[in-house]
């Protein structure tokens, strides 16, 4: 229940902040251009709260917090003739440059807000993991290039990667931009080396890409010591107890919990003999491996929880922090990088290089909002920055009904010297509505597939 509350809270705050700032961009530039704004609404549907400003704008907080709008004085939308003294305040009477600035202001303000959020996270300090890789699987590109587990990625194609997140983003970015991935790494013994990977064999879809590379975060080995035995499970039936250290399986030494789990998962329903250390003595226990269905596959299970040392990850955690001015530059740079990466991912999605399964809808966004809000302020600000960039990019797409669609009309107007015909605009709106409905349908389908699939 708490996760649902966090998701609802995080989602409402995110939508409220991002949409309000987007619409404020339209409002602020419209007022600077002398356009009369009739209504500034956060949300759709029945108004829950309203207030009139001194300049005549009605502020509204509506019931459905999934968007917002700014309604401006416009002769094309007015049911009654506009008084002569107000005609110069109508949106449609403004110059092409002014109208374009008003429309573009919403997405631009989203980018500005994202840069501010990124700046704040860098000043406060972003908790992350050092980019230390696990042993790459045999046959993966990293393994073939000679990378070894425990190596730390220092740079990708010359770009410094102080954290795990920055390393993944750099790899994803460079896989689309360069012919070769050059990774400078510090190996476990302290030596430095550079490996090169041909990007021709690297998919640009994120998860398949990391799987092909064999990239995984380093997992320190955990001793196979039991912290808790689940009643009614195979471990309890075999007489295992909290504190037992599993030292061998069928006489074969068992050095880590990971090795034990891998063997158990591969042998559901089989019988084996465990050697455990308890109170300085070694005991043997017969175990019938349990079974469960995981991802449609039958796997073995023990029914016990491992004792994870409190300081296991201490040496691998890091906090990326920058000074106020340095963070401002980094915030702008990160905003530009994420926006450009988003555009390229969209382009690759259109040609089929990236799966449409990567599209997330409101349910998935709400879930991420809950995770990040529960994780802390810095993590949540990073989430808001990412969504703000995505909102800005999405609205600039040349799709009728979006800001980018209006800007496309204005570009045509600038070229031909007259506005796009009303019939063309109506057809464009219908096409845009169809495209957005299809996109939302796909996003909802992906959300439901993740939840129930």
Grouping H, G, I as helix, E, B as strand and the rest as coil, residue 294 is strand
In this structure, what token pair is assigned to residue 401?
A: 């009904």
End-to-end, the C-alpha distance of the chain in Å comes to: 21
Are 66 and 15 a contacting pair, CB within 8 Å? Answer: yes
- Determine the Cα–Cα distance for residues 278 and 251; give it in Å rounded to an integer: 17
> DSSP secondary structure string, 334-371?
HHHHHHHHHHHHHHHHHTTSS-GGG---HHHHHHHHHH
- Determine the Cα–Cα distance for residues 333 and 164; give it in Å rounded to an integer: 18
Strands 226-229 and 304-306: antiparallel
| Residue numbers annotated as active site | 23
Grouping H, G, I as helix, E, B as strand and the rest as coil, residue 170 is helix
In this structure, what token pair is assigned to residue 361?
A: 């809808």
**Strand pairing partners for 58?**
39, 52
- Determine the Cα–Cα distance for residues 336 and 343; give it in Å rounded to an integer: 11
């Amino acid at each position: 229940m708490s996760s649902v509350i966090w998701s609802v809270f995080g989602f409402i705050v995110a939508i409220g902040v991002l949409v309000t700032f987007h619409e404020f961009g339209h409002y602020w530039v419209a007022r600077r251009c002398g356009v009369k704004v009739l209504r500034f609404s956060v949300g759709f549907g029945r108004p829950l709260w309203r207030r009139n400003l001194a300049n005549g704008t009605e502020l509204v907080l509506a019931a459905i917090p999934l968007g917002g709008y700014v309604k401006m004085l416009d002769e094309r939308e007015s049911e009654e003739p506009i008084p002569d003294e107000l005609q110069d305040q109508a949106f449609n009477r403004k110059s092409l440059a002014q109208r374009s600035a008003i429309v573009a202001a919403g997405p631009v303000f989203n980018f500005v807000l994202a840069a501010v959020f990124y700046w704040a996270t860098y000043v406060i300090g972003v908790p992350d993991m050092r980019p230390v890789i696990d042993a790459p699987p045999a046959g993966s590109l990293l393994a073939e290039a000679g990378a070894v587990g425990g190596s730390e990625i220092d740079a990708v194609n010359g770009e410094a990667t102080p954290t795990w997140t920055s390393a993944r983003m750099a790899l994803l970015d460079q896989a689309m931009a360069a012919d070769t991935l050059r990774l400078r790494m510090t190996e476990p013994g302290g030596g430095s080396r550079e490996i090169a990977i041909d990007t021709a064999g690297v998919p640009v879809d994120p998860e398949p890409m990391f799987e092909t590379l064999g990239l995984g975060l380093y997992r320190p080995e955990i001793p196979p010591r039991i912290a808790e035995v689940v009643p009614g499970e195979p471990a309890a039936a075999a007489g295992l107890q909290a504190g037992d250290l599993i030292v061998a399986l069928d006489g074969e030494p068992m050095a880590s919990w990971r090795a034990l789990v891998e063997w158990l998962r591969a042998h559901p329903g089989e019988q084996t003999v465990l050697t455990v250390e308890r109170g300085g003595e070694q005991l043997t226990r017969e175990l019938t491996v349990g079974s469960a269905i995981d991802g449609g596959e039958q796997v073995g299970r023990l029914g016990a929880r491992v004792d994870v040392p409190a300081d296991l990850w201490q040496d691998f955690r890091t906090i990326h922090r920058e000074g106020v001015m340095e963070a401002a530059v980094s915030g702008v740079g990160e905003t530009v990088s994420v926006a450009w990466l988003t555009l390229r991912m969209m382009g690759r999605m259109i040609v089929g290089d990236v799966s449409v399964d990567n599209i997330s809808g409101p349910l998935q966004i709400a879930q991420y909002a809950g995770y990040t809000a529960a994780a802390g302020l810095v993590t949540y600000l990073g989430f808001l920055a990412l969504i703000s960039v995505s909102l800005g990019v999405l609205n600039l797409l040349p799709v009728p009904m979006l800001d980018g669609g209006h800007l496309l009309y204005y570009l045509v107007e600038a070229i031909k010297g007259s506005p796009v015909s009303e019939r063309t605009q109506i057809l464009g709106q219908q096409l845009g509505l169809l495209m957005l409905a299809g996109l939302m349908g796909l996003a909802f389908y992906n959300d439901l597939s993740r939840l129930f699939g």
